[in-house]
């Protein structure tokens, strides 16, 4: 039976204090400080069959920094996934509140191998050692959670016994590209695996991204220009779809300008605005250029064929393809948080090609379906530009550090 997790409330104060006293003694993380943390909503608890068996205490030293200051599980309920459930809740909350763009950290005694193993298994890295307490006598290992994928430099890792604190300090002190990545067993004793990470050149990566955006938007703009010319040459082409293509051409041109602006931002290095600029270019390019272009292709085909069934099948195929793309890891929507409204708007967008060809094949006015499609695309653009934060990768079930293939 898995543990259920939630935020502790006022009725949980006594139970949390009793559990803290049981695990840490009267001088541990308890008393007035823990009671205040519960009242401030900074304590998460885990329950099994209605009994409180674990708790975690959070701190928010900065708006984009979450510190896990304490985590504990009642004796007799350990190794049942309780601590993992608590830590998973903390990380999920951090992602939902955009804290994934900041820092989630924890400081632990290197000798506490159970805590170190828990953190390392959930994507934390031991990045440096710290001296705390009176006179700096207490050595602590600083763990930081990693969301983005980093790549190990193969063949450069080494093992350091947990008990050899001097070597641990030396391995991490002067090497900011080294970190503790795993626990191992060396001669029957616990040891830390310390790995070296490859160093990426952010400016080169960003420059490549900006150039790819310019090239992609240029290609889409050329395709849209061709379709606009075709629509003007056909007297039977629906005026509303022609208007959709004109708007798509304008928006794609704007995205091209924005991508060029991102390249200029890199060249001048005036501010750290590259990510924000690229988000604008990516969103406008997809919802103002690519998707309108794809939605209009079946309608263009409908103008060239006399086969009603082929026209409908083409529209349905495009709708299915868009639906699969929307839920894949390649779409812009995949970089943002999914909500019921976002899912509904994605469904409307995917149905656009099918609805358009059905109305054309039936000889009905196409402006209702085109209007709905344009409204859905405009709503998605506004949501992702103004109601969401920066683009962020969606967590995948894999280690966030690996050897580059």
57 and 185 housed in the same domain: yes
- Distance from C-alpha of 173 to C-alpha of 164, rounded to nearest angstrom: 14
Which residues span the domain enclosing 153?
4-196
Total domains in the fold of the chain: 2
Q: Taking the model in full, what pTM does it have?
A: 0.60
- Note whether residue 37 is domain-resident: yes
- Note whether residue 400 is domain-resident: no
- pLDDT tens-digit readout, 23-49: 876 545 557 888 999 999 999 999 988
160 and 206 housed in the same domain: no
226 and 355 housed in the same domain: yes
- Note whether residue 401 is domain-resident: no
User: pLDDT class for 400, splitting at 50, 70, 90?
Assistant: low
76 and 100 housed in the same domain: yes
- Distance from C-alpha of 14 to C-alpha of 8, rounded to nearest angstrom: 11
231 and 302 housed in the same domain: yes
- Distances, alpha carbon 56 to alpha carbons 26, 116, 234, 302, 348, in Å: 17, 15, 67, 61, 42
Helical packing angle, 367-386 and 340-361, nearest 10°: 160
Residue 82 tokens read as 């309780």
User: pLDDT class for 105, splitting at 50, 70, 90?
Assistant: very high
187 and 245 housed in the same domain: no
210 and 149 housed in the same domain: no
Residue 323 tokens read as 């639906």
- Note whether residue 73 is domain-resident: yes
Residue 394 has pLDDT above 70, yes or no: no
Q: With left for phi above 0 and alpha for psi between -120 and 50, is residue 214 left, alpha or beta?
A: alpha
231 and 121 housed in the same domain: no
Domain final position from 152, 168, 196 = 196
Domain final position from 196, 212, 227 = 196
- Note whether residue 398 is domain-resident: no
Find where tokens 């840490």 sit.
Answer: 24
Q: Which neighbouring-strand residues pair with 57?
A: 43, 70
- Distance from C-alpha of 374 to C-alpha of 244, rounded to nearest angstrom: 7
Residue 359 has pLDDT above 90, yes or no: no
- Percentage of the chain beyond pLDDT 90 is 43
Residue 44 tokens read as 């998460």
- Note whether residue 29 is domain-resident: yes
Quick check: helix, strand or coil at residue 392?
coil
- Note whether residue 392 is domain-resident: no
- Distance from C-alpha of 389 to C-alpha of 95, rounded to nearest angstrom: 11
pLDDT at 133: 76
- Note whether residue 403 is domain-resident: no
- pLDDT tens-digit readout, 297-309: 888 887 778 888 8
160 and 217 housed in the same domain: no
Residue 395 has pLDDT above 60, yes or no: no
219 and 134 housed in the same domain: no
CATH number at residue 167: 3.40.630.30
- Distance from C-alpha of 120 to C-alpha of 112, rounded to nearest angstrom: 12
220 and 178 housed in the same domain: no
């Amino acid at each position: 039976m898995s543990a259920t997790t939630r935020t502790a409330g006022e009725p949980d104060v006594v139970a949390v204090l009793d559990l803290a006293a049981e695990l840490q003694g009267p001088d541990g993380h308890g008393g007035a400080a823990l009671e205040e943390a519960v009242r401030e909503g900074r304590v998460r608890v885990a329950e099994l069959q209605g009994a409180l068996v674990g708790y975690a205490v959070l701190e928010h030293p900065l708006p984009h920094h979450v510190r896990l200051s304490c985590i504990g599980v009642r004796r007799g309920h350990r190794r049942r996934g309780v601590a993992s459930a608590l830590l998973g809740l903390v990380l999920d909350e951090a992602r939902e509140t955009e804290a994934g763009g900041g820092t989630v950290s924890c400081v632990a005694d290197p000798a506490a191998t159970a805590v170190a193993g828990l953190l390392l298994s959930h994507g934390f890295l031991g990045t440096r050692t710290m001296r705390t307490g009176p006179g700096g006598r207490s050595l602590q290992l600083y763990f930081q959670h990693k969301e983005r994928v980093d790549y190990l430099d193969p063949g450069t890792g080494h093992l350091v016994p947990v008990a050899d604190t001097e070597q641990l300090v030396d391995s991490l002190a002067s090497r900011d590209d080294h970190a503790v990545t795993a626990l191992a067993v060396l001669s029957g004793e616990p040891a830390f695996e310390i790995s070296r990470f490859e160093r990426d050149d952010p400016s080169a990566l960003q420059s490549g991204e900006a150039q790819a955006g310019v090239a992609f938007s240029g290609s889409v703009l050329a395709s849209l220009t061709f379709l606009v010319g075709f629509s003007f040459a056909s007297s039977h082409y629906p005026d509303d779809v022609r208007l959709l293509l004109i708007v798509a051409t304008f928006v794609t041109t704007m995205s091209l300008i924005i991508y060029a602006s991102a390249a200029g931002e890199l060249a001048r290095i005036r501010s750290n605005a590259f990510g924000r600029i690229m988000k604008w270019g990516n969103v406008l390019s997809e919802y103002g250029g690519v998707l309108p272009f794809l939605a209009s292709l079946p309608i263009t085909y409908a103008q060239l064929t006399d086969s009603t069934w082929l026209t409908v099948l083409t529209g349905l195929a495009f709708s299915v393809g868009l639906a699969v793309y929307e839920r894949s890891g390649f779409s812009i929507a995949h970089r943002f948080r999914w909500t019921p409204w976002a899912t509904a708007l994605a469904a409307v967008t995917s149905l656009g090609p099918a609805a358009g060809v059905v109305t054309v094949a039936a000889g009905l006015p196409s402006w209702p379906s085109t209007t709905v499609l344009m409204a859905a695309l405009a709503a998605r653009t506004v949501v992702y530009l103004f109601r969401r934060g920066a683009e962020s990768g969606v967590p995948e079930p894999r280690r966030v550090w690996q050897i580059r293939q």
